[in-house]
Structure 1
Amino acid sequence: MTQWPLSDTVEEMPPGLWIRRGSPPAMLSMHRHDDVEINLVLDGQLHYLFGGQPLTIREGEIAVFWAAQPHGLVGSRTGDMCWVHVPFSLFLSWGLPEAQTAPLLSAQPLITHAPDLAERIARSAERWGEEVGGAEPGGGDDDVGDSAQIALLEIQAAVRRVLRTSSLAHPEPSADGPGSVPAARLRQVSAMAQFVRDNHRSPLAIADIAEAVHLTPSHAMTVFRRTAGVTLGDYVTMCRVAEAQRLLLTTPMTVTEIAEAAGFGSLSSFYAHVSAACRMTPREYRRQGR
C-alpha cells in the first residue's frame, strides 16, 4: 500500500467543479474546500484522515461528504478510483429534499456499497470533465455551451442517485417531514457552519454565530438543529474534537497545548469531549493512531 505523511497544516482550496479518474494523487497536507465531494472506489482502497479520524473507503463503495471538514489522503491500495467535486453553492441551487441534504452537514461522510452505480458514474466522468471544462456554460459557442449544460444536468442526476441510494441504505426520517429545504435556509445553515469552522478555535458564543447570519440566537439554533440534525453547540464541539484529533495524530504538541489550540475552555472539557468521541483517552487515541 502506498502511504503519504501529512503535514500539520490545513490548506484552504477554492471551490470548483472538478472530476478525476485514475490513481489517487499524493497529498502532503490536509485540505478543505466548499464542495460536495464524491469518491468512487471501483478497485482498491482509499485511506483518509477525515476531520481528525481515520476513514477507509473500500472497493465498490461510494463516499459523499461536504469537503469543508479538513481531510487528507494518507494512503491507498492502488486501483481504479474516481472523484467528483461539486461547488456547494451549485449543490444548494438544486433544491434537493432535506432527507438528502441535511446529512451532508454532519461531521461524517455517507458511505454506501453500490458498485454498479459507481461504475456507471465513473464511465461518464471523463466526458463530463471535457464538456464542462471546454467552456463556460452559456458562453459564445452554442454547441459547447449546450454540451456543458447537458453535462451539468447529468452530474446533478448522478449526485442525486448517490444521495438517494445512500438515504435508502441509511434511512433517517426527517423531523420536518418530506419536502425540500428552502435555499435561503440552507445558505444560512451553510454560513453558520462555515463561521463555526473558521472560529471554533477561539471562545465562541451562540450569539456570535447568529449575528454572523443576521438571526436572533434562538432562531439560529432552531434553524440549524432542524436542518443539520444537531444543535449549534454540538456542532461547535464536533469541530473542536475534530481539530484536537487532527493535532493528536499529526503534531508532537502536548495535550494541554492541543486543548487550547482546538478551542476547549479547559483541560477537563477537552478530556471529556475527546474521550467520549474516541471512546478512549486522548493519549490512547494518539498512541493507537500512530
Structure 2
Amino acid sequence: MRMSEDRPEWFGLASFRGAVPAMFAAHRHDDLEVNASPSPLVYLVDGRETMIPAGSLGVFWAARPHRLVTPVDEVSWLTVPLGVALGWSLPGAFVGSLLAGDLVLVSEGAGLALAERAELWAGALARDPGDAERRAAELEVEALMRRIAARRTHVAPGHPGVRGTAGEMAAFISERAADDIRIDDVARAVHLHPQYAMTLFRRALGITIGEYLLQCRVARAQRLLLTTDLPIAEVGFAAGFRSQSQFYARFRDRCGEPPAAYRRRLAGA
C-alpha cells in the first residue's frame, strides 16, 4: 500500500475484516472500493454525506476524496485497482456509473457475503503473483464484482445532504473544482473569514483546502481521460489546472505516470 502526499495513491488488490476508527483525513486512491458492515457506514464523499446501509455492499470509485466519518466495530472491505477491474470487462453501465460518481449498492445475499471471504482473501492476496491460492482469490473477487454488477442499484452520493460547514465547503470545492476558485471563494460560500474557514476545514477533513482541491482536480482528470476523447491539454484545463506543466506534474505525482500513459494503459485494459 502506498499512501502519501507525493506518491501514487492506491491500495491494490486487497481485503480486510475488522474494526476501523473514523478516518483522520480525507484521502483518495485509484481503486474500486467495496465495503460492507453489520452497522451503517457513513462517509463524506466529495464533501457529501453518503451512507452504506447495514447488510448492503457499497461500491464506489475511491479516486474521489472520501473519509469514513464514524468508527465501526466490524467492517469488511475490498479494493480492486481500476486497471484490474477494467481488464475484467465488467458491464459498461456498471463501470460508467462508478466513474460518473455513483455509489452502487446491492443487498448481501447468496454469493455476495463479503465478510465470509474477506479474511481468507486478505492472506491469499498478499501472496506472490502466480501463487495458486492468490489466483483462486483473484477469480473469486472477479466473480463477486460480476455479481454486484448484475444485481446493482444506483444511488448518487450526496442525497442524504451535506454534513456541517466543512462538508459544505468540501462540496463547494468538488462542484467547482474546474473553476479558478480560491480560499476566499470557499470561505465566502459559507459566510466565514478565510482564516477560520481554513482552520475549520483542516480540523474536520484532516487536509488543507488546497490539497482537497488538488485531489478533486486529479480525480476529474482521471475520469475525463477514461470517459472522453478530449486531447490531453484540454483534459488538464477542463479539470481545473491552469497550466500544462502544473497538470503534468501534479497528475504524475498522484497517479505515478503521465496523463497520456494513464489513458493508454487503462484504455487497453
Q: Same fold (TM over 0.5)?
A: yes
Q: How does 1:79-118 map to 2 (within 5 A)?
A: 79-112=73-106, 114-117=107-110
Query: What is the distance in 1 between the residues matched to 2:163 and 2:64?
Result: 11
Q: State the one-letter code of the partner of 1:30.
A: A
Aligned-residue CA RMSD (Å): 4.0
Q: In the TM superposition, what is the alpha-carbon distance from 1:248 to its structure 2 partner? A: 5.3
Query: What is the distance in 2 between the residues matched to 1:119 and 1:157?
Result: 10
Partner of 2:124: 131
- 2:166 paired with 1:249: yes
Query: What is the distance in 1 between the residues matched to 2:110 and 2:73?
Result: 17
Q: In the TM superposition, what is the alpha-carbon distance from 1:18 to its structure 2 partner? A: 2.0
Partner of 1:164: 150
Query: What is the distance in 1 between the residues matched to 2:14 and 2:42?
Result: 20
Query: Could you report, residue by residue, the CA deviation over 1:94-126 in whole angstroms, capped at 9, with x for unpaired residues?
Result: 0122122211111231123x1325862221111
Q: State the one-letter code of the partner of 2:33.
A: E
Q: In the TM superposition, what is the alpha-carbon distance from 1:132 to its structure 2 partner? A: 1.6
Partner of 2:220: none
CA contact (8 A) 1:39 1:63 kept: yes
Query: What is the distance in 2 between the residues matched to 1:118 and 1:248?
Result: 40
Q: State the one-letter code of the partner of 2:88.
A: W
CA contact (8 A) 2:111 2:144 kept: no
Partner of 2:138: 152
Q: How does 1:226-237 map to 2 (within 5 A)?
A: none
Name the CA shift for 1:118/1:29 in 2 (closer, same or farther; >3 Å).
farther
- 2:22 paired with 1:29: no
Aligned length: 180
Q: 1:47 aligns with which of 42, 48, 62?
A: 42
Q: In the TM superposition, what is the alpha-carbon distance from 1:12 to its structure 2 partner? A: 6.3
Partner of 1:63: 58
Query: What is the distance in 2 between the residues matched to 1:130 and 1:53?
Result: 34
CA contact (8 A) 2:28 2:63 kept: yes
User: Can you give the 5+ residue segments of structure 2 that lack an aligned partner in the other structure?
Assistant: 192-196, 198-203, 205-269
Name the CA shift for 1:155/1:246 in 2 (closer, same or farther; >3 Å).
same
User: Can you give the 5+ residue segments of structure 1 that lack an aligned partner in the other structure?
Assistant: 1-8, 139-144, 172-240, 272-280
Query: What is the distance in 2 between the residues matched to 1:32 and 1:40?
Result: 19
Q: In the TM superposition, what is the alpha-carbon distance from 1:265 to its structure 2 partner? A: 4.6
Name the CA shift for 1:119/1:22 in 2 (closer, same or farther; >3 Å).
farther
Q: State the one-letter code of the partner of 2:139.
A: L
Structure number with higher relative contact order (C-alpha < 8 Å, ≥ 6 residues apart) = 2
Query: Could you report, residue by residue, the CA deviation over 1:203-262 in whole angstroms, capped at 9, with x for unpaired residues?
Result: xxxxxxxxxxxxxxxxxxxxxxxxxxxxxxxxxxxxxx9xxx899516989x9xx69x94
Q: In the TM superposition, what is the alpha-carbon distance from 1:146 to its structure 2 partner? A: 1.2
CA contact (8 A) 2:43 2:67 kept: yes
Q: Identity of counterpart residues, as a percentage?
A: 31
Q: In the TM superposition, what is the alpha-carbon distance from 1:69 to its structure 2 partner? A: 0.3
Query: Could you report, residue by residue, the CA deviation over 1:155-199 in whole angstroms, capped at 9, with x for unpaired residues?
Result: 110111112110xx459xxxxxxxxxxxxxxxxxxxxxxxxxxxx
